Amino acid sequence: GKKKIVVLGGDGFCGWPTSLHLSAQGHDVVIVDNLSRRNIDTEMGCDSLTPIESPAVRIRAWKEVSGNDIKFLNMDVAKEYDLLVQLFKDEKPDAVVHFAEQRAAPYSMKGSKQKRYTVDNNVGGTNNLLAAVVDSDLDIHLVHLGTMGVYGYGTSGGEIPEGYLNVVLPDGNEKEILHPAYPGSVYHTTKCLDALLFQFYNKNDGIRVTDLHQGIVWGTNTPQTALDERLINRFDYDGDYGTVLNRFLMQSAMGVPLTVYGTGGQTRAFIHISDTCRCIEAAINNPPESGQRVEIFNQIAQTARVRDIANLIKDKTGCEVNFLNNPRNEDAENELDVSNAKFMDFLGEMIRLEDDRGLFAEVQGITEKYKHRCIPEMILPASFWNKKTAAACEANTLEVMDAKGKEGEKKLGGVFM
């Protein structure tokens, strides 16, 4: 049935198309956003490749094409606690979708300012949200966008389960525990801390929480954002916010060699932006019961190795591949086996990278149309995990470099999330 849904961070890359999707399904949507991602564009001197309109223009356009109203509030969830509590009391939402976090691992490693902002904004905002649900005296279902990065890569001893791990304790008893945290950046650390806050507030105050550990998102438009030019989703191609597949497709349109880090042996989880919206809707429609533990889903369609993705695009477009020194501090090669049975039960098949649905062509069409807006020097990594990786990356260039290290070698490696 129809629900009242507050979408925190509803102006962003995942939040905007999700808000439109939920509105199109007949839900009553309220977007809350402090426009921090737009301010970071100004800070970095790099806009979305696609020209995104202001929230007011976007919402007016949505009303014109759909007949549906969406309310927008400019509010800082991490700082304006009293306004957040009052919002919940006024709107009485059935569910709150929490996207209101700084989402880029590279940006969170750029310097002390960005590290401190990421922790203050992400952890402070999540705690404010949970405390506000308690203070509202309402039974609000919280749906949070997490990340597969909370698990680490290749650390589970097999298939990564959906949130909880079966272990044998020293006394021989078996127990199911929250999967150990293994973050790879300050950003990922905040998502691990979020998970602990959810466990506490769920146990202490009975808050119903669904935590979605999402893979790397690719694609740009959804059926809703494609309805009008003014509804277009943002497309990040820069070294801090550009997700790996979208960056590759943009680079191929620009005639720039694909920027693969290390050997390209990093295996990661992927999901198309349209399936992100469907997963959020499925989580809202299937809330945990009162008194149930935190529900955790792995929100992915598939896993893939970065160099295989680069070769897929190379075969389609004829572009070259550039193996750069790595800005991250992690293994260059890893395997990744992930359980996603819960969402597959709800959604059935999800979009895959190799699907012949014209999705690559759709993204390539967007990159071709707007490539005049690209600033090529913003493609190279500009955030480094430590002084050692920063020194190694001084040699990086947009010209083709050789693969760094042999396949299977343990060395510094990286991929944008």
The reply to whether 237 belongs to the active site is no
Q: What's the Rg (C-alpha) of the chain?
A: 21
Cα separation, 264 vs 294, whole angstroms: 35
The DSSP-derived string for 215-248 is -EEE-S--TTGGG-GGGPPP---STTT--HHHHH
CA 39 to chain centre: 18
Answer for the pair 110, 129: CB distance below 8 angstroms, yes or no. Answer: no
Residues 6+ apart with CB under 8 A from 59: 31, 70, 72
Cα separation, 148 vs 216, whole angstroms: 8
Answer for the pair 12, 6: CB distance below 8 angstroms, yes or no. Answer: no
Cα separation, 25 vs 210, whole angstroms: 20
Q: Which helix (H) or strand (E) holds 311?
A: helix 306-317
Q: Which helix (H) or strand (E) holds 304?
A: strand 302-305
CA 253 to chain centre: 24
The reply to whether 314 belongs to the active site is no
The reply to whether 191 belongs to the active site is yes
- Which residue in 18, 50, 118, 147 is the catalytic one? 147
- Which residue in 107, 117, 151, 187 is the catalytic one? 187
| C-alpha closest to that of 159 among 293, 296, 333, 340 | 340
Q: Cα separations (Å) of 339 from 42, 70, 214, 246?
A: 39, 35, 12, 24
- Which residue in 191, 225, 259, 263 is the catalytic one? 191
Phi and psi, residue 207, nearest 5°: -65, 135
> Could you list the active site residues?
147, 187, 191
